[in-house]
Structure 1
Amino acid sequence: MSDQRWTKFTDCSSCKSCQMNVFKYRAYPRGMLIPQARCMQNTIYFLISGKVKVNSEEHPNTIFCSGEFILQPIGSRVEFQIIESCECILYLFERPLNICEDRFHNGEVLAANSYIQPVIMHVCAPLVLFLESMKRYLEDDMLCATFLQAKRSELVYILNCYYPLKELASFYAPIYRYSKSFEYFVMQNYLKVKDVESFAQLGGYSVPTFRRIFKETFGEPAYQWMIKKKCQDIHNDLTTTTQSISEICYKYGFESLANFSHFCRTNFGKSPRLIRNEMIENL
């Protein structure tokens, strides 16, 4: 049977409901090193093909292979070394989705009391079908928020129905432990605030206390860290997404394109348009 290819007739990239950070498809060549970086959201890595060496606190010098998946909690630092060329699907989320009250509560209790150890899960047959379809959808830019939310629910149902609760609790344990920390609060909310004062208020801290705890946790002043993160996120959006420059401008709270352009020239030495054009030329 020939591989019949279908044509997608809609373009959702300019829709307000389009989002690009729930599922991602990635392919990497053999020998590539993805340097250590902090996870900005809880992330499950489903390895469709290939072999990868992971180095993180949760998975120190661990090799996982095609047909396996791992979890890295928000704020964790992880490095990947591609041993064999690989393809993977990433699922990003803030906390596990609750689709069954009793099972969710029992899972939380088990996870809270679980000894945290490296957990590598194996992809079951229904999950294989799900990942194959997600790969195709992502290649076709099926990025509608409503559609991806439905696929998110489907994924959670598959995990809940085809994996034992005790195994899932061990898998999610790093999230439940980490979610009570100051670092988790920062990573979950830094995009929602404009300055240190509002950040402190959101967490119920006095500004001096917030500044002190922040520097003890992250090793640098809160304001400097927030500017650095803003630069990283903006540069990432300009070079790895199809969001328009206007969308990126207003996403990060700039009042005008002129202010956004000034920010980019000050921090990157280039206008946002030039950064975007250089990315396209290097493709």
Structure 2
Amino acid sequence: MLSLFPDDNNSRIRPMPEDSFCIQYKNCTGCPRATENTLVYKNLPKGEHIPKDKCTQNCMLFMLKGELLINSEEYPGNTLHEKQFILQAIGSKIEILALTDVEYITFWFNELPLLCEDRYNEIKDQAEAPLTYTPLVMSERIHSLISSMPDFLNEKSPCSKYIELKCKELVFLITNFYPLPQLKTFFYPISTYTESFQYFVIQNYSKVKSVEEFAHLGGYTTTTFRRLFKNMYGIPVYEWILEKKREGILDDLQHTNMRITEICNRYGFDSLSHFAHFCKDSFGDTPRALRKKAANGEKIGKISD
């Protein structure tokens, strides 16, 4: 591209630098704010099928071109058209079939990047299930924003800080420029799926002996369950289970009359010796010694405390 502005020293026309989204930085791989797959551009040929699977994050899907058949509990057998968008909550299942050549953008998130928390809290507090879910239609401002993203996302190293800003702008346009009744139903699945998953976890973590068993109990593959759990709780599932078991064991030793054998069985240990080793590693002593200390008024807790 040529510049029409003269050189400082003479009036010769000189070439401008090669067009680029970012000419200041050449290597962004070490960026501490890098976000992986937050916004994803998809281009599917007619007939492409993505089998039903559970979402390991919340996901909004924005249609740019074509017709896409969606099959989920919220949108059973619905066809999405250009400018329409939907929300699938973390833990929900979705299946996709391209009825034509299609282009769409997916926005993946654990928590919404908010510019206006008060507005979203108002939506969340009044969220309610509709009789039937209906896709929202992009406003011109949202469509302009979404349409501008594919070229940038196809860059070799799209800037994560720029993506973060665009996500905040996108959420702001959705939460502040649609009527509250539409938004109350649109965002309802986030709360209901989150609550149901957390209920499942709390009700069953003490019954399982491994992450694989935990995943199978909920109907998940182990990989999907690990990712879903990490996105929702912020730590790996095995670490969370161990921490909860430690909390429960300490509480039972101090505040109940349960026999040591009962506590051992309650938290899924194969034997009393295994349980004793766990207590020594976690609390510095055997279960019986810990209970005796607690009965004498001594404080017992994790070794790291």
TM-score band (shorter)? 0.5 to 0.7
Q: Does 1:107 align with 2:90?
A: no
Q: Does 1:226 align with 2:241?
A: no
Q: Aligned letter for 2:222?
A: M
Tell me how far 1:204 sits from its aligned partner. Answer: 9.9
> In structure 1, the residue corresponding to 2:67 is in which secondary structure?
strand
> Quick check: which has more Rg, 1 or 2?
2
Q: Does 1:147 align with 2:162?
A: yes
2-structure distance, mates of 1:179, 1:32:
30
Q: Aligned letter for 2:219?
A: F
- Residues 200-215 of structure 1 aligned to structure 2 (within 5 Å): 207-208=206-207, 215=216
In 1, are the aligned partners of 2:215 and 2:225 still within 8 Å (CA)? no
Correspondence for 1:162 = 177
Query: If the length of structure 2 is used for normalisation, what is the TM-score?
Result: 0.59
Q: Does 1:15 align with 2:15?
A: no
In 2, are the aligned partners of 1:75 and 1:184 still within 8 Å (CA)? no
2-structure distance, mates of 1:227, 1:49:
32
2:40 to 17, 24, 42: 24
In 1, are the aligned partners of 2:59 and 2:109 still within 8 Å (CA)? yes
Q: Does 1:79 align with 2:95?
A: yes
- Residues 53-92 of structure 1 aligned to structure 2 (within 5 Å): 53-92=69-108
> In structure 2, the residue corresponding to 1:169 is in which secondary structure?
helix
In 2, are the aligned partners of 1:53 and 1:80 still within 8 Å (CA)? yes
Q: Aligned letter for 1:62?
A: N
Q: Aligned letter for 1:15?
A: G
Correspondence for 1:128 = 143
Q: 1:168 to 1:184 in 2, by over 3 A?
A: farther
1-structure distance, mates of 2:208, 2:177:
46
2-structure distance, mates of 1:27, 1:130:
18
> In structure 1, the residue corresponding to 2:30 is in which secondary structure?
coil
Query: If the length of structure 1 is used for normalisation, what is the TM-score?
Result: 0.63
Gaps of 5+ in 1: 187-202, 220-224, 232-251, 253-283
2-structure distance, mates of 1:132, 1:142:
19
In 2, are the aligned partners of 1:116 and 1:170 still within 8 Å (CA)? no
Q: Aligned letter for 1:7?
A: S
State the Cα RMSD in Å: 3.0
> In structure 2, the residue corresponding to 1:115 is in which secondary structure?
coil
Q: 1:70 to 1:184 in 2, by over 3 A?
A: farther
> In structure 1, the residue corresponding to 2:87 is in which secondary structure?
strand
1-structure distance, mates of 2:146, 2:219:
36
2-structure distance, mates of 1:99, 1:22:
17
2-structure distance, mates of 1:228, 1:128:
32
Gaps of 5+ in 2: 1-17, 228-235, 237-305
In 1, are the aligned partners of 2:114 and 2:168 still within 8 Å (CA)? no
> In structure 1, the residue corresponding to 2:195 is in which secondary structure?
coil
Tell me how far 1:117 sits from its aligned partner. Answer: 3.0
Q: Aligned letter for 1:216?
A: L
Tell me how far 1:143 sits from its aligned partner. Answer: 3.1
Tell me how far 1:160 sits from its aligned partner. Answer: 2.2
Q: Aligned letter for 2:217?
A: E
Tell me how far 1:11 sits from its aligned partner. Answer: 4.4
Quick one: higher RCO (CA 8 Å, sep 6+), 1 or 2?
1
Q: Aligned letter for 2:20?
A: T
Tell me how far 1:73 sits from its aligned partner. Answer: 0.9
Tell me how far 1:230 sits from its aligned partner. Answer: 7.1
Q: Aligned letter for 1:144?
A: C
In 1, are the aligned partners of 2:215 and 2:222 still within 8 Å (CA)? no
> In structure 2, the residue corresponding to 1:135 is in which secondary structure?
helix
